[in-house]
Amino acid sequence: MIERATSLLFLISLISVCQGLYFHIAETEKKCFIEEIPDETTVIVNYKVELYDPRSGGFMPSSPGIGMHVEVKDPDDKIVMSRVYSSEGRMSFTSHTPGEHVICMYSNSTAWFSGSQLRVHLDIQVGEHAIDYANVAQKEKLTELQLRIRQLLDQAEQITKEQNYQRYREERFRQTSESTNKRVLYWSLAQTAVLLVMGLWQMKHLKSFFEAKKLV
Amino acid sequence: MNLLAIHFCIFVLLIDIIDSVELTFELPDNSKECFYQEVLKNRSAILEYQVITGGQYDVDVELLSPTKEIIYRQIKSQFDSHQFTAPKTGVYAACFSNEFSTFSHKLIYMDFSLTEEVNPLPGVDEHATVLTQMEQTAQEIHKSLNAILDYQTHHRLREAQGRKRGEDLNERVLWFSIIETSAMLIIAITTVIVLRSFFTEKRPSQMKYGRLDGR
């Protein structure tokens, strides 16, 4: 029992550690982050917003009036998710197309001027890191070793996905290079042709002009 | 440069990372962006960054201690990794500044991770039993796979950098060729017009001046 309690305590402390990184934005500012991920990858975003309190000069731990608008766009600029959350939230989405996903956050503040400052705690976990193993172990009743193996499997799977994505990008990049090569070739041919045509036209035109003027 | 990159990777691989936040963000021109992280005393942390695109691929980086002292500072660097051990508990700030650049905004990858192996699996109770060989092997594999993932991240960043540069180049070449073609056509036509004007009889108004001169 005590063991359970300590492990739970440990878990809680770990979660609070994960909330560590934070930054400041103005109340009406929009902040975007880019995640380049393969397809079928889960991304978990944890965040917490604190509003600057001018009276105490610190940040209020909970600000009920503040909501955050979270928007996720996939590589084709289509909106995957667009929702308003409260001041603290956790959300996840799974990518369906590989590439750069843009995660944007802005508060639903109605301040006309830029208002006060917001402190945003943010944690973005991708792929295998997004899996909550404590939960998995409990749900599927796995032993420690089974859980370890499970983690290894997930990791290996993530690596395979990443490799497939790298192959895909390599292919795309190669196609771009080949098309660029082709286009440069055609362009230089066209340029030479233009040069020759212009030269011939200049000579012909001037010749007929001089002849008309009886200068030659 | 290449050798540096390899060292950079190896350095990162030597440590077990337990808690890390990776962010890729846009840094507008003339601005400064700070990220804060609480680090407990005697725990070590690694700050890693790389400029993916924009301008000369450089950025000013500063790492500040809770007392606003500068722990680490790099001016106009492209990528680096810095490990430090926190002398005391407090909030450490990593600041990226683009204040020297007036028009190019940048894309920056940042990874702030706290090291020190706590427990790779938070769900598992911590008991002080000796690990079986199987468990040990599993842990080894876990570490190796983490290393692979890390390599992949760096590879992905390098690829992104290369791709962005390629796209940039493509656009510039396109504009250059459009401008060059139009310049060529304009010059060819003006040459003819100018030459014609040299040999054309002067217009009546100019003739008058000519006669006046002749008098």
ipTM of the complex: 0.72
What pLDDT does B133 receive?
85
d(CA A137, CA A119) in angstroms, rounded, equals 34
Residue A8 lies in a domain: no
List of chain B residues whose C-beta atoms are within 8 Å of the C-beta of residue A147: 121, 123-124
- Domain shared by A152 and A182, yes or no: yes
The model's pTM is 0.73
Tell me, yes or no, whether A90 and A141 share the same domain: no
- What mean pLDDT is predicted for residues B70-77? 90
Whether A137 shows a pLDDT value over 90: the answer reads no
Claim to verify: residue A31 and residue A123 sit in the same structural domain:
yes
Q: What is the mean pLDDT of residues A134-153?
A: 85
Closest Cα in chain B to A3: B125
Q: Over chain B, what is the mean pLDDT?
A: 79
User: What was the pLDDT predicted at A167?
Assistant: 92
CATH at residue A126: 2.60.120.680
Q: Measured between alpha carbons, how far is residue A112 from residues A26, A29, A179 in Å?
A: 12, 12, 49
Instruction: Look at residues A101, A130, A159 and tell me which one is the last residue of a structural domain.
Output: A130
Q: Are A181 and A97 in the same domain?
A: no
Number of alpha carbons in the 13 Å side-chain half-sphere of residue B15: 21
Q: What is the pLDDT of residue A8?
A: 42
Residue A13 is assigned to a structural domain of this protein? no
Give the number of other CB atoms < 10 A from CB of residue B134.
Answer: 11
- Closest residue to A7, CB basis, from B23, B33, B125: B125
Helix, strand, or coil here: B62?
Answer: strand
Last residue in a domain, options A115, A130, A145: A130
Q: Beta-strand (E) ranges in B28-146?
A: 32-39, 44-53, 59-64, 70-77, 79-85, 90-97, 106-114
Clarify whether residues A103 and A85 are in a common domain.
Answer: yes
Chain centroid, CA B26 distance in Å: 9
Token pair, residue A60, equals 């209020």
A128: closest CA among A102, A152, A107, A95?
A152
* pLDDT tens by residue, A176-190: 889 989 998 999 999
- Closest residue to B24, CB basis, from A10, A21, A34: A34
Residue A113 has pLDDT above 90, yes or no: no
Selected residue with higher pLDDT from A18 and A173: A173
pLDDT in tens, B103-150: 888 899 998 888 764 444 554 555 556 678 888 888 889 889 988 988
The answer to whether residue B33 neighbours chain A at the CB level (below 8 Å) is yes
Q: Model confidence over A26-70: pLDDT tens digits?
A: 877 888 999 889 988 899 888 888 887 777 777 777 666 777 888
How many separate domains does chain A show? Answer: 2
Main-chain dihedrals φ then ψ at residue A34, nearest 5 degrees: -110, 130
How far is it between the farthest Cα atoms of chain A?
115
Same domain, yes or no: A159 and A120: no
The string of pLDDT tens digits covering residues A85-109 is 887 888 888 999 998 999 998 887 7
pLDDT, chain A, mean: 82
Contact A98, A167 (CB under 8 A): no
Rounded mean pLDDT of A159-174? 91
Same domain as A125, residue A195: no
Q: Are strands B19-27 and A117-126 parallel, antiparallel or unpaired?
A: unpaired
Range(s) of the domain holding residue A208:
132-215
Flag whether pLDDT at B31 surpasses 70.
yes
Say yes or no: A187 and A140 in one domain. Answer: yes
- Tell me the domain boundaries of chain B: 2-145
Asked if B123 and A138 come within 8 Å (Cβ–Cβ), the reply is: yes
What residues of B are in contact with residue A184 (Cβ under 8 Å)?
173
Q: How confident is the model at residue A197 (pLDDT cuts 50, 70, 90)?
A: very high
What is the average per-residue pLDDT within A130-135? 81
Going by pLDDT thresholds of 50, 70 and 90, the confidence category of residue A163 is: very high
> CATH for B2-145?
2.60.120.380
Q: Are residues A29 and A108 in the same domain?
A: yes
B178 and A CB contact within 8 Å: no
Query: Is the same domain home to A124 and A155?
Result: no
Is A147 in the same domain as A209? yes
Position B205 confidence tier, pLDDT thresholds 50, 70, 90: low
- B171 at A interface, C-beta within 8 A: no
Of A64, A95, A130, which marks where a domain is finished?
A130
Q: Count chain A–chain B contacts defined by CB atoms under 8 A.
A: 147
Give the pLDDT score at A134.
Answer: 81
